[in-house]
Amino acid sequence: MRNEERLDVARLRERFLERFGRTDVEPEVFFAPGRVNLIGEYTDFTGGLVFPCGVDRGTMLIARRSHDSRYRLTSTNFDLTAELAQDEIDRTYGDNWINYPLGVFDRFRRGGVELDGVDCLFAGNIPNGAGLSSSASIEIVTAFAVNELFGAGRSLLELVQLAQAAENEFVGMQCGIMDQFAVAFAREDHAMQLDCGSLEHRQVPLALGDHAILVSNTNQRRELNESAYNDRVAECARALAALRERLPISTLGQLTPEHFADHADALEDDPVAARRARHIADENARVRAAVPALESGDLAAFGQLMNASHESLRELFEVSSDPLDHLVRLAREQPGVLGSRLTGAGFGGCTVTLLPSAGIPAFERAVGKAYRDATGLTADFYVISPGSGVGRIGAAPSRNADSNGARSS
Ligand code: GLA
């Protein structure tokens, strides 16, 4: 990680005190990572399977209860700083970043937790809007901090559900539970297989040997992302309603490829819903195959499933973009690359690639140049070391949170 991207606790504490002044309450420090999804895309809101891991970048929050019942929110990443009274925190402000913490405050209050003001300084080093869950990271770190500062006594799973509800009901994005869950429960050097229907999850060691996970950012501006996402949710609901006339399923996540083959005619009047349902059925089957492949060390099989996932997201779920397809194609042309696919919500954002560690510098040079020639855009690359989930940072003020070892949860 480059130096300027470090989240330096001591410096951020100083900045907090300069901005908000000293009171007799010491600010506390919290951190939540971002996440990258390795496979299982757009399955979470259908109760399907996903396989994300935490990343070693995230959001740091320095926070304390305020002395005057006001809510002060500032960030080192965005211009807007807000100071709001108790009766001003129950609404969104345009499409501003403060909607994420405000949504979390709102869910706590609706759940009967009395908040009486908080001073917050956020600092993040996850690229925004890149499909690495910068928003879930803000929500979860806020939920964790509020829970601690106000003694709300919620479990980590309850905080995950609260943060997802904040995004669904306050921000208005009908996302599933994957991002908030991954950001909260991530474990260092592991990925997690999560069943978004039952919420059962299993941590799987990410033993890649001489291979690595590289995230490549298209740096394509994402537009219409939220409405296109909510359209996909509605299309999947339509598919489920039609298939339930034939099959004893309660979620689309229970649909198998065999079911789909036998009952595709139930969707013949709605080809869009049919394509979405087929993606969901196949993608769940891919996660079921990918996790054992990884556990048995068959990285080549894992990579092929990643490739198939991308094709399905492009053709059937229609959430890819030209820059994403360019990056994926260029990645697959590089020596030793086992698989490459878009990750997260698509429409721009990042790809995730499984490749030999030794080949990363040459990969970045070759793909970076060819991508710039093809699109006029400059890609960024991040090697991922799977980091651990949300937690409080220990009292020592000079620690650096870019080393996961500095956190205790
Ligand atoms: C976004 C959403 C998640 C998930 C992914 C796609 O990140 O927030 O809930 O649906 O897209 O897999």
pLDDT reported for residue 288: 98
pLDDT reported for residue 398: 37
The number of CA neighbours under 13 Å toward the Cβ of 68 is: 8
Give nearest CA residue, ligand 1 atom 8.
Answer: 175
Among 178, 222, 286, name the best residue to mutate to test ligand 1's pocket (greatest count of ligand atoms within 8 A of Cβ). Answer: 178
Q: Which residues contact 71 (CB under 8 A, 6 or more apart)?
A: 82, 83, 84, 85, 86, 88, 89, 105, 117, 118, 120
CB of 354 within 6 A of ligand 1: the answer is: no
Task: Identify the band that residue 51 occupies on the pLDDT scale cut at 50, 70 and 90.
Answer: very high
pLDDT reported for residue 224: 59
Q: Domain 3-204+387-404, what architecture?
A: 2-Layer Sandwich (3.30)
**Mean pLDDT across 236-244:** 98
Asked if residue 99 has pLDDT above 50, the reply is yes
Structure tokens, 47: 């109760």
Q: How far is the CA of 242 from the centre of ligand 1 (A)?
A: 24
- SS (HEC) of 123-141: EECCCCCCCCCHHHHHHHH
CB of 195 within 6 A of ligand 1: the answer is: no
Please state at what angle helix 271-295 crosses helix 299-315, rounded to 10 degrees.
170
Given this structure, which CATH class describes domain 211-384? alpha beta
pLDDT tens column, 103-124: 999 999 999 999 999 999 999 9
Identify the active-site residue in 106, 179, 195, 282: 179
Task: Identify the band that residue 226 occupies on the pLDDT scale cut at 50, 70 and 90.
Answer: confident
Asked if residue 149 has pLDDT above 80, the reply is yes
In the chain, list all ranges with CATH 3.30.70.890: 211-384
Structure tokens, 334: 């590089």
Q: How far is the CA of 116 from the centre of ligand 1 (A)?
A: 32
Query: What radius of gyration, in Å, describes the C-alpha atoms of the chain?
Result: 21
User: Residue 106 catalytic?
Assistant: no
CB of 196 within 6 A of ligand 1: the answer is: no
Question: DSSP letters along 233-261, please?
Answer: HHHHHHHHHHHHTTS--SSGGG--HHHHH
In the chain, list all ranges with CATH 3.30.230.10: 3-204+387-404
pLDDT tens column, 127-147: 887 889 999 999 999 999 999
Q: How far is the CA of 15 from the centre of ligand 1 (A)?
A: 33
Which of 15, 34, 112 shows the shortest CA–CA distance to 72? 15
pLDDT tens column, 324-351: 999 999 999 999 999 999 999 999 999 9
pLDDT tens column, 77-98: 888 889 999 999 999 999 899 9
The pTM assigned to this predicted structure is 0.94
For 287, the 3-state DSSP assignment is helix
**Mean pLDDT across 223-250:** 93
Structure tokens, 43: 């399955």
Distance CA(249)–CA(197), nearest Å, equals 12
Asked if residue 386 has pLDDT above 80, the reply is yes
For 357, the 3-state DSSP assignment is helix
Give nearest CA residue, ligand 1 atom 9.
Answer: 176
Other Cβ atoms less than 10 A from the Cβ of 305: the count is 24
Closest atom of ligand 1 to CA, residue 178: 9
Asked if residue 202 has pLDDT above 70, the reply is yes
**Mean pLDDT across 48-65:** 97
Q: How far is the CA of 72 from the centre of ligand 1 (A)?
A: 29
Asked if residue 395 has pLDDT above 60, the reply is no
Structure tokens, 147: 């829970």
Task: Identify the band that residue 216 occupies on the pLDDT scale cut at 50, 70 and 90.
Answer: very high
pLDDT reported for residue 2: 42
Higher pLDDT, 389 or 7: 389
